Structure 1
Amino acid sequence: MPKIVDPEARRRAVADAVFRVARRDGLENASLRNVADEAGLAVGSVRHYFASHSELMLFAMRELTRRVEVRVRSRVEPLLAAPGGPDRASLVEELLAELLPLDAARHDEAVLWLAFTTAARVRPELRPRADELHTGMREMVEQVLRGGQRQGGFPEDLDVPAETLRLVALLDGLALTAVLQPDRITPDDMWRVLRLHLRSLRGA
């Protein structure tokens, strides 16, 4: 009896191979052949699921985003249900911390995110997806700040659009430093900077 293959599971397994190659050798080396070798498949098998290298890269970007969003969403529901006060402040910190490379899994995601967004600068087919990811992050941060403002956690006169840009830049900068100069910043450092920044907003 022929083996039944779940197409979506196979596509995600190939995306995992893209991630491993990109982390180890750089995204520029994630060719169809190298990815197929990493996945233990023939190139023809990979082409059965992805018509082109660009299609594979776009799927890998979507899969990376999906995994981050699943984790972030698990933090959003408790935050929406929480009243104001110290408990909500802690939930805000934990939600935003999901965007920082505080452990091995999130560090790998940050490495991949940087690789894809850097590639999007010179690969037009990847730019819309990269722009969508940046927009989604900015909108989430703005919603967190506005929600905190409604709950009384942030001042009524807080300049939310400007503070959204500042907080996104802070998160991006911490993640970039952790990826490019991991010996210069620790997870504790990132936690401390994030908490200090949020406290400064509450007292603005």
Structure 2
Amino acid sequence: MPKIVDPVARRRAVAQAVLSVVGRHGLAHASLRNVADEAGLAIGSVRHYFADHDELMLFTMRELSHRIDERVRAHIERLLSPGNGTDRRATTEQLLTEFLPLDATRREEAAIWLAFAAAAHTRPELRPCADEMHQGMNALVRRVLHEAQRSGALPDDLDTDLESKRLTALLDGLTLQSALLPDRFPPEAIRQVLRRHLDALRSGD
């Protein structure tokens, strides 16, 4: 009997091959040939699941976003569930650290995301996806701050729309600095900066 291939699983496997190539060699090396070799497939098999290179890159960007979203979702469900005894401050910090390069997995994801974000400036086909992902992150941060304010954890007069932009910029900046200067921005230093910022929000500074 012919082997039955799950097309969704195969597309995700090819996307993982893209991520592996980009993580080791950079986005410029993620050609269809190199990705096919990484995935252990013939290049024709890759073309069977993706119409062209642009479609493959967009799918991979969304797959990366999906992985981060799955981790974040577990935290936000606890954070937004009323009356479950959750330590809101600790859960908020854990949620936000999912966007930061604090371990090998997240460092690799951050490096790959920065590569895609940089490419989006010169490759218009990637720009809508990059914008969508950044807007989604900002919307999540705004929701977290709004819920914290509603629960009394943040001052009533805090401008949560403005502060969500400031916090998103902080997360982006910490990710970039850690990627460029890992010795100066180790995981504990990143955590300290984030905690100081969350403390400042609670005091209204």
> How high is the TM-score relative to the length of structure 2?
0.96
Shift of 1:159: 1.4
- Alignment-derived partner of residue 178 in structure 1: 178
Aligned to 2:191: 191
Overall identity of the aligned pairs, in %: 60
Count of aligned pairs between the two proteins: 204
List aligned pairs for 1:120-139, cutoff 5 A. 120-139=120-139
The answer (yes or no) to whether the contact 1:120–1:126 under 8 Å persists in 2 is: yes
CA separation of 1:47 and 1:199: change in aligned 2, threshold 3 A: same
List structure 1 runs of 4+ shifted beyond 3 angstroms.
82-86
**Is it true that 1:34 corresponds to 2:37 in the alignment?**
no
Structure 1 residue 165: deviation in Å?
1.1
Following the alignment from structure 1 to structure 2, what is the Cα–Cα distance between the partners of residues 159 and 85?
A: 27
Rounded to whole Å, the distance in 1 between the matches of 2:150 and 2:84 is 9
1:60-86 alpha-carbon deviations (Å, 9 max, x no partner): 011101111111001111001155998
Match in the other structure for 1:25? 25
Contact 1:84-1:151 within 8 A present in 2 as well: no
Query: 2:171 matched to 1:200?
Result: no
Partner of 2:92: 92
Q: CA RMSD in A?
A: 1.4
Unaligned runs of 5+ in 2: none
Q: Residue 185 of structure 1: SS of its match in structure 2?
A: coil
Name the counterpart of 1:49. Answer: 49
Match of 1:158 in 2: 158
Contiguous gaps of at least 5 residues in structure 1: none
In 2: Cα distance, 1:10 partner to 1:55 partner:
15
Cα distance in 1 for residues equivalent to 2:151 and 2:196: 20
CA–CA distance in 1 between the matches of 2:46 and 2:104?
28
Residues 159-188 of structure 1: per-residue CA shift (max 9 Å, x gap): 112211110111001011111221111111
CA distance in 2, matches of 1:20, 1:98: 20
